[in-house]
Amino acid sequence: MEVDLVDERILSGEMMGRVEQAVPQSADLADGDVMLKTASDEGVRLREVVNCGVPLPEYELEIRDEDGASVADREIGRIFVRGASVMSEYFNDPETTAAVLSSDGWLDTGDMGYLSAGSLFVIGRAKDMIIINGRNHWPQDIEWAAEQVDGVRSGDIAALSLPSRDHGEVPTVLVQCRVRDMAERQAFADAIKRQIMAVTGVQCRIELVLPRSLPRTSSGKLSRSKARQQFLSGKITALDY
């Protein structure tokens, strides 16, 4: 499967912008998730984005900006699709249908991505984007940074935004923690916070939670929206440190 190495402007959160100087590389990935990679030969952190291929002949694909206008090649925006197997409606839910499906059959997929020479590259889900001080940050970037800390396993992290009394929404990282000693927990949380700041420039609040407490979808993927809901409702509780 082909992969584009996208420059770190994507990593820094400039998601509604132009992708430049992509370097083609082959890779064998298990699925289409966005992931991060360190390019040690150049000393530059790059993000790998999977090439999903070109649309079938009976389908149309457009990338649109926040105003609904089509964008240029290699410019990131929302992915819209129209074609033979696109749904006609949500069952008994005209309001939701109208929110994502236009009268002429264009479906807003809720995904962000870009086109390059006709091929589609998916960046992530629009609803997962964390917006801080007008800048967009992908949770995958923050989660990847945190996973570089000793003691953090893949899947232990959920990056999201939570309300704060003083500052509106605050970027927050829920971390499944197996450390029992309070002093070690503090050091663990501090190390994660420093690593995220060093890699992404985002100052995050760190909340340690019990192992296996982060919710998953039916396909086994992390559900950030459900994690946020459960943390706010108290179903997921923070550990002291």
Question: Both 99 and 116 in a single domain?
Answer: yes
Question: Both 138 and 72 in a single domain?
Answer: no
Question: Both 134 and 111 in a single domain?
Answer: no
- Of the residues 95, 125, 155, the one at which a domain ends: 125
Question: Both 107 and 138 in a single domain?
Answer: no
Q: Is 221 helix (H, G, I), strand (E, B) or coil?
A: coil
pTM for the model stands at 0.68
Residue ranges of the chain whose pLDDT lies below 50:
1-44
Q: Number of structural domains, the chain?
A: 2
pLDDT at 132: 79
Candidates 57, 114, 102; CA nearest to 84 is 57
* Domain span at 191: 129-233
Question: Both 152 and 190 in a single domain?
Answer: yes
pLDDT at 25: 35
- Of the residues 125, 146, 172, the one at which a domain ends: 125
pLDDT at 167: 67
pLDDT at 56: 92
Question: Both 114 and 153 in a single domain?
Answer: no
Instruction: Look up the CATH number of the domain holding residue 65.
Output: 2.30.38.10
Question: Both 1 and 46 in a single domain?
Answer: yes
Give the whole-angstrom CA distance, residue 45 versus residue 38. 5
Give the whole-angstrom CA distance, residue 75 versus residue 71. 6
pLDDT at 128: 87
pLDDT at 213: 96
Candidates 232, 234, 237, 171; CA nearest to 210 is 237
- Each residue's pLDDT tens digit, 79-90: 999 998 999 999
Give the whole-angstrom CA distance, residue 195 versus residue 80. 36
Where do we find the tokens 């995904």?
Answer: 111
Whether residue 239 lies inside any domain: the answer is no
- Each residue's pLDDT tens digit, 195-229: 999 999 999 999 999 999 999 999 888 999 999 99
Instruction: Look up the CATH number of the domain holding residue 205.
Output: 3.30.300.30
- Of the residues 125, 155, 188, the one at which a domain ends: 125
Question: Both 174 and 71 in a single domain?
Answer: no
Question: Both 83 and 152 in a single domain?
Answer: no
